[in-house]
Homo-oligomer: A and B are copies of this chain.
Amino acid sequence: MVTAMDTLPTPATGSEAVPLSGPAAPPLTDDELRALYSLMVSVRHLDTSAIAWQRQGLIPGYAPELGQEAAQVGSGFAVDTSRDFVFPTYRELGVARAMGVDMVAYMSTHKATWHGGLYDPLESRLAPIQAVVGGSVLHAVGWAHGQTLTGPADGRLGVAMAYFGDGASSQGDIHEAMNFAAVMKAPVVFFVQNNGWAISLPTELQVAGGSVAGRAAGYGIPALRIDGNDVVAVVDATRRAFAHCRAGNGPVLIEAMTYRRGPHSTSDDPGRYRSLNEERDGAGEDPLERFRQRLLADGVAGEAFFAEALAAAKAEEEEIRAGIQALGPRPGSEMFDLVFQETTPALRAQAASWREESEHV
């Protein structure tokens, strides 16, 4: 019989979670809190509008982030766009907005103008939109290792933040990314939005063990499992994780527990796999309303501010809608010109015959 004596200790499953080091983040100022609220309102308004745009035929499809505003805005808010780099999925509208990305350029991907979006990834510090589930998490590890190789500019490393979902956590690439990052002590924040669903599959049938954060200890990676619908908790956790990474202590994983309130995308029909009751129970309190109540209760903001924020969000949305409307298709020649830095004779020939046959020149 195998007794306790026969088995060796398994280092990573001890009772203490792997500790996070680095200074605690200072509490958010009232200005920051109000800024966060404004961002969340603007994201909520833009996100719900995008669904309407799709119904109106302005854009062919969209993947809403309804319910994930706190997780997205809170984490994006913690990014230092002068040194960090963020790797989104296809659902990170709130992150992009919080980082100050040009939203017409961002939304262009949903207008089917250009995969990846028209924003400048280097300038905005946001990698192109990624449609492969789990596809860019390893990129974050490579980018972060590059920071280690270059060395910190002023004693503080640039940090890569990789977003992924509960569904993505099943992909082999996620495991490889966590193991590589931990072996190389790369400054990466793995930001998991556990929104309860991967299209029709609930997290219970996706994530064995019940938690993505619970996997981190096995790699010696510290993890924070947080209420992803509490924007303040999200900012704090993200800042703490960034501080840990910046100081050269290696990666951190954050699992933000949230809920995908809408359909997976505008082509999805959630009624086929979850009931309205289940939705209500799973979703819990609306993160935006919850934050509003908190600001009110703490006397940080009042109705006038909320009204102002909403008006600003509406104005912004209208401007973005106009921008999207004005967005024409990219010239077909870009298909050929943007494949390589140094094009090839075959591509030149194909571009020429395309011009002749499709543009009739």
By a beta-carbon cutoff of 8 Å, the part of chain A in contact with chain B is 1-2, 6-15, 17, 24-27, 170-176, 178-179, 181-183, 205-211, 213-221, 223-227, 230, 233, 236-237, 240, 255, 257
CB-CB under 8 A from A172, the residues of chain B are 171-176
Total identical chains: 2
Q: A2-B237, A216-B218 are in contact. List 16 more A-B contacts (CB 8 A).
A: A1-B25, A2-B24, A2-B224, A6-B233, A7-B225, A7-B226, A8-B225, A8-B257, A10-B216, A10-B223, A10-B225, A13-B213, A14-B15, A172-B172, A178-B208, A208-B221
A287 to chain B, nearest CB (A): 15
- Is B226 a contact partner of A206 (Cβ separation < 8 A)? no
Decide: A13 and B6 in contact? CB cutoff 8 A. no
Q: How far is the CA of A223 from the CA of B255 in the complex (A)?
A: 24
CA distance A205 to B208 in the complex (A): 27
State whether A213 and B10 are in contact (beta carbons under 8 Å apart), knowing that A172-B172, A179-B208 are contacts in the complex. Answer: yes
A215, B214: Cβ atoms under 8 Å?
no
Quick check: B25 and A17 within 8 Å, CB to CB? no
CB proximity of A223 to chain B, nearest CB, Å: 6
- Nearest residue (CB) in B for A13 is B217
Cβ of A321 to closest chain B Cβ, rounded Å: 37
Within the complex, the shortest CB–CB distance from A144 to chain B, in Å, comes to: 14
Q: List 27 A-B contacts (CB under 8 A).
A: A2-B224, A2-B233, A6-B227, A7-B237, A8-B226, A8-B227, A8-B257, A10-B216, A10-B255, A11-B210, A11-B211, A12-B209, A13-B13, A13-B223, A170-B176, A171-B176, A172-B172, A172-B174, A172-B175, A174-B175, A175-B176, A178-B208, A182-B208, A209-B218, A209-B220, A214-B217, A214-B218
